[in-house]
Structure 1
């Protein structure tokens, strides 16, 4: 059974989202996603300043098995990318929830309310 922290939001495309105190969003891939991918060997992250549409493919995660797109959960501006994780992609396998990929300033904070909660994501991945 995958680890699904209750304090995060989720997407059906297996991104996790943490709403920070300043309203920004920290985004990574879920434990379920890293388990399905296997050993992560490469990450391509979006650059700070990039404007993203909701559900836009904005990053790539590659494992020994496959390459997958990572999508923006909501529209907004990338304000940071985690170069440490890009330099050590295996950290996603070690702890998917501390290995954040990028931070986003949402165009509309209310959009986050439309994302899945832990129970919704658990139900989604149980299928």
Structure 2
């Protein structure tokens, strides 16, 4: 059984706007950046991505979990939730209700307001947003 995922890779059109948004509004910090090597893209079976710029970010908690963003011009026409495969990333947050208020008027668009995950007292709460690269985030 899969217990945790160490790194999630998200294709984006522009690394700078993503880095700024995740840093300024979610508290993530860049910990690595560069260009994808031929060895990596061969492993991913995406050799056409060799040389693409990437950025790895870590949450302010310093947990050993990461978001890797890869610049990809084919994402210009991407519409969220319209392709096969994983279409969202779940991030654990301290307080979805407060975060929803803080994300107003930012590059993150609320698509599902904070709600209880099940109808019991003290149930965890979650919300969904579209990020600056049209990526879907579940914030739990």
TM-score normalised to structure 2 length: 0.26
Question: Which is greater in Rg?
Answer: 2
TM-score normalised to structure 1 length: 0.28
